[in-house]
């Protein structure tokens, strides 16, 4: 009997471990079983029988086939639900990517454009009239990302739904079975956007919509009247279509009671996640002197009062709950601007490459080990004596922003600066 996976899988190497992605699920394996499991998965391409796989590995590792058989059968049993058997060769593919010497990201955040019909008071990007990604170049870059192991793409902006070719990009991602998320203000809601949402039904897409308060607050923050009404229509449409909807609320000076009322409305219309974020003091929030406040208390109270099995409240940081380890920015996650600059995360303005100039793999050969070994600011150690620790809350981008705004940050001085100074000066720079 030939043996293979039920569906196409992506097998991706990284230093000290490897991942494989089956459908929308990811599995990762640590060093101990790394090499053997990696080799077994490579051979589970539907072209071999179990005996052929055992024989192949027994020769490769110069081990008796009895010992190899046990390892192979144990491993296959551990992933039995994903495996298919047939008397004929199976057609499914194992796509191999990554490297055991350096990381390549699996999650890319793509800013399609810095154009936006809104002028939010706090927008870190200063979005409004801005740059837009060249469509032909973007297609080529996305194809490369997919080839080198990106499995999840977030489309954002500015406003992603004003990008003329967003539908073509989404068609391309659906065809490549990439998991898609879209971050939007929900303000642009026209027949084309409805058609795009309809295409995303049953594709496990996450739509993150910004909603910062009830009517007056939201319209005031977003600087355009009628925004609240439109965004609620958009949210309801996405919920009706059974897409997973998360709402992002950025806390400026909203009272708890208002955020509570908002969260309750969202829960009642079928939103799945309410994400409460704090301000990053950059762009218009800096110009408008809008300061970061810690949102943990708001979140813990909302959790107690409103969470159900189908509705969760979280801080943006809880989305990535590991406090001590690095969040992955710059090596597992990257952000690309409309001019193809690559930054380590959505709010970082450290530029680690540009896909107009650089080769994808060169960027990560050069930088990913710097980012993977970078310690993040941690409240109980490097930040312990800093009065900003509540605001920064273990986030590297907050530390960088604090340093840029005040010239002071112990974490930046001790960890970030030496790390980025190790880059080639011609290849790395921070925006002025
Ligand atoms: C830059 S916007 C892009 C997508 C879309 N235009 C929107 O507003 O959702 C992405 C998210 O960043 C949030 N945001 C903007 N400026 C921010 C700042 N200075 N600090 C924290 N979050 C901010 C927005 O409220 C929004 O939820
Ligand atoms: S936060 Fe979003 S909607 Fe507001 S100006 Fe920035 S990009 Fe536009
Ligand atoms: S400013 Fe720097 S040292 Fe202070 S809490 Fe933020 S990251 Fe830590």
- 129 - beta bridge partners? none
124 lies in the same domain as 242:
yes
- How far is CA 242 from its chain centroid? 21
The CATH number assigned to the domain holding 260 equals 3.20.20.70
Smallest-distance ligand from the CA of 400 = 3
76 shares its domain with 135: no
Grouping H, G, I as helix, E, B as strand and the rest as coil, residue 183 is strand
pLDDT of residue 163: 97
Residue 50 has a CB neighbour count (10 Å cut-off) of 17
What is the C-alpha to C-alpha distance for residues 211 and 87, in angstroms, rounded to an integer?
Answer: 55
Encode burial over 347-382: b for 16+ CB neighbours within 10 A, e otherwise. bbbbbbbebeebebeebbebbbbbbbebbbbbeeeb
Asked whether 427 and 342 are in contact (CB, 8 A), the reply is no
Report if residue 349 sits inside a domain: no
Give the model's pLDDT for residue 281: 87
Nearest-angstrom CA–CA distance, 76 and 73: 5
Taking only Cα atoms into account, the Rg of the chain, rounded to an integer number of angstroms, comes to: 23
pLDDT at 377: 85
Residues 6+ apart with CB under 8 A from 301: 256, 260
Is any atom of ligand 2 closer than 6 Å to the C-beta of 185?
yes
- Residue 67 in any domain: the answer is yes
Ligand 1 pocket, CB under 6 A: 116, 122-125, 156-157, 159, 183-185, 210, 248, 250, 277, 279-280, 282, 285
Q: What span, in angstroms and rounded, lies between the C-alpha atoms of 8 and 5?
A: 7
Ligand 2, atom 7: nearest CA belongs to which residue?
A: 158
Residue 350 has a pLDDT of: 81
Q: Is the beta carbon of 401 within 6 A of some atom in ligand 2? A: no
Span from the CA of 353 to the centroid of ligand 3 (angstroms): 26
* Same domain (yes/no): 131, 225: yes
Domain assignment of residue 348, yes or no: no
Whose alpha carbon is nearest atom 6 of ligand 2? 123
What was the pLDDT predicted at 86? 92
The reported pLDDT for the residue numbered 401 is: 84
State the distance from the centre of ligand 3 to the C-alpha of 127, rounded, in angstroms: 27
* Nearest CA, atom 15, ligand 1: 123
Q: What is the count of structural domains for the chain?
A: 3
Q: What is the SS3 assignment for 41?
A: helix
Q: Do 82 and 120 fall within a single domain?
A: no
Residues 375 and 416 in one domain: yes
Same domain, 67 and 129: no
Residue 243 and residue 200 in contact, taking contact as beta carbons nearer than 8 Å: yes
Cβ atoms of 158 and 127 closer than 8 Å: yes
119 Cα to the center of ligand 2, angstroms: 6
- SS3 sequence of 198-260: HHCCCCCCEEEEECCCCHHHHHHHHCCCCHHHHHHHHHHHHHHCCCEEEEEEEECCCCHHHHH
Distance of CA 191 to the CA centre of its chain: 28
Check residue 126 and give its pLDDT. 93
Residues 19 and 157 in one domain: no
The rounded Å distance from CA 75 to ligand 3 centre is 44
Q: Please tell me whether residues 141 and 268 are part of one structural domain.
A: yes
C-alpha–C-alpha distance, residues 74 and 281, integer Å: 52
Nearest CA to ligand 2 atom 1: 123
What is the Å distance from ligand 2's center to 113 Cα?
11
Residue nearest to atom 6 of ligand 1 (CA): 159
User: Does residue 344 belong to any structural domain of this protein?
Assistant: no
Q: Are residues 37 and 78 in the same domain?
A: yes
Q: What is the pLDDT of residue 98?
A: 83
Q: How far apart are CA 308 and CA 240, in angstroms?
A: 19
Residue 280 CB less than 6 A away from ligand 3: no
Read off the DSSP letter of residue 345. Answer: S
Residues 77 and 196 in one domain: no
Q: Choose one of 98, 131, 162: the last residue of a domain.
A: 98
For residue 343, tell me if it sits in a domain: no
Q: Give the residue numbers spanning the domain of 92.
A: 2-98
Specify the pLDDT at position 367.
80
Does residue 26 lie in a domain region? yes
pLDDT at 189: 94
**C-beta of 388 in contact with ligand 3 (< 6 A):** yes
β-sheet with 341-343: strand ranges across = 312-315, 273-278, 244-251, 206-210, 179-184, 152-157, 107-113, 333-336, 341-343, 353-354
At 148 the three-state DSSP class reads: coil
Query: Same domain for 306 and 365?
Result: no
pLDDT tens-place values along the chain, 432 residues long: 999 988 878 888 888 777 777 765 556 554 444 677 888 888 998 999 999 999 999 998 898 989 889 989 988 898 888 899 999 998 877 888 888 888 889 899 999 999 999 999 999 999 999 999 999 999 999 999 988 888 899 999 999 999 999 999 999 999 988 889 999 999 999 999 999 999 999 888 999 999 999 999 999 999 999 999 999 999 999 999 999 999 999 999 999 999 999 999 999 999 999 999 989 888 999 999 998 888 989 999 999 999 999 999 998 664 444 555 677 888 888 999 999 999 888 877 788 889 988 888 888 888 888 888 888 888 778 888 898 887 787 888 888 888 888 889 999 999 888 887 766 555 555 543
Ligand 1 center from residue 421 Cα (angstroms): 29
Q: Which residue's alpha carbon is at the smallest distance from atom 2 of ligand 3?
A: 409
3-state helix, strand, coil in the chain (%, to 5): 40, 20, 40
**Best residue for ligand 3 mutational test, from 385, 387, 399 (most atoms within 8 Å of Cβ):** 399
Residue 72 in contact with residue 93, Cβ under 8 Å? no
pLDDT confidence of residue 115: 97
Tell me the ligand closest to 387's alpha carbon.
3
Ligand 3: distance of its center to the CA of 241 in Å? 42
List all residues 6 or more positions away from 267 whose beta carbon is below 8 Å from its beta carbon: 274, 306, 308, 311
Query: Does ligand 3 lie within 6 Å of residue 401's CB atom?
Result: no
* Residue at a domain's end among 72, 98, 124: 98
123 lines ligand 2 (CB under 6 A): yes
Last residue of a domain, one of 51, 68, 98: 98
148 and 24, same domain (yes or no): no
Please check whether residue 338 lies inside any domain of the structure: no
Q: How far is the CA of 120 from the centre of ligand 1 (A)?
A: 8
Residue 153 included in any domain: yes
Which ligand gives the minimal distance to the CA of 248? 1
- What pLDDT score does 324 carry? 53
Alpha helices in 86-211 (DSSP H): 135-147, 166-175, 191-199
**For ligand 1, mutation pick of 277, 392, 395, 404 (most atoms within 8 Å of CB):** 277
User: CA–CA separation, 241 vs 200, rounded Å?
Assistant: 9
**CA-CA distance, 53 to 69, in Å (whole number)?**
9
Q: Strand (E) positions, 387-430?
A: 429-430
């Amino acid at each position: 009997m030939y043996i293979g996976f039920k569906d196409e899988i992506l097998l991706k190497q990284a230093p000290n471990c490897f991942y494989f992605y089956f459908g929308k699920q990811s599995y990762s394996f640590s060093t101990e079983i790394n090499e053997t499991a990696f080799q077994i998965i490579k051979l589970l391409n539907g072209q071999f029988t179990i005996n052929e796989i055992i024989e192949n590995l027994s020769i490769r590792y110069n081990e008796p086939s009895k010992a190899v058989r046990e390892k192979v059968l144990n491993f296959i049993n551990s992933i039995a639900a994903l495996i298919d058997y047939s008397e004929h060769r199976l057609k499914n593919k194992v796509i191999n990517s990554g490297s055991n010497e350096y990381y390549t990201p699996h999650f890319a955040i793509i800013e399609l454009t810095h154009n936006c019909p809104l002028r939010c008071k706090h927008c870190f990007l200063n979005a409004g009239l801005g740059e837009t990604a060249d469509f032909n170049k973007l297609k080529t870059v996305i194809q490369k990302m997919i080839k080198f192991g990106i499995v999840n793409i977030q489309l954002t902006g500015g406003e992603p739904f004003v990008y003329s070719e967003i539908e073509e990009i989404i068609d391309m991602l659906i065809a490549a079975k990439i998991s898609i998320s879209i971050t939007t203000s929900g303000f642009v809601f026209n027949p084309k956007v409805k058609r795009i949402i309809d295409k995303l039904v049953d594709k496990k897409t996450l739509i993150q919509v910004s909603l910062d308060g009830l009517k007056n607050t939201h319209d005031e923050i977003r600087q355009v009247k009628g925004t609240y009404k439109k965004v609620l229509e958009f949210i309801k449409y996405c919920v009706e279509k059974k897409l997973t909807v998360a709402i992002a609320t950025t806390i400026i000076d909203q009272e708890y009671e208002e955020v509570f009322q908002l969260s309750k409305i969202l829960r009642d219309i079928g939103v799945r996640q309410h994400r409460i974020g704090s301000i990053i003091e950059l762009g218009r929030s800096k110009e408008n002197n809008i300061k970061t406040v810690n949102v943990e208390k708001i979140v813990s109270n909302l959790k107690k009062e409103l969470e159900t099995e189908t509705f969760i409240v979280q801080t943006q940081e809880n989305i990535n709950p590991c406090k001590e380890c690095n969040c992955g920015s710059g090596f597992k996650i990257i952000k690309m601007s409309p001019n193809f600059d690559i930054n380590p995360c959505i709010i970082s303005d450290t530029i680690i490459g540009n896909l107009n100039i650089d080769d994808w793999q060169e960027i990560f050969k050069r930088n990913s080990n710097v980012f993977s070994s970078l310690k993040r600011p941690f409240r109980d150690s490097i930040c312990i004596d800093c009065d900003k620790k509540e605001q920064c809350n273990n986030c590297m981008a907050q530390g960088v922003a604090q340093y840029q705004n005040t010239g002071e940050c112990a974490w930046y001085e001790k960890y970030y600066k030496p790390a980025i100074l190790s880059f080639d000066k011609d290849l790395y720079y921070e925006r002025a």
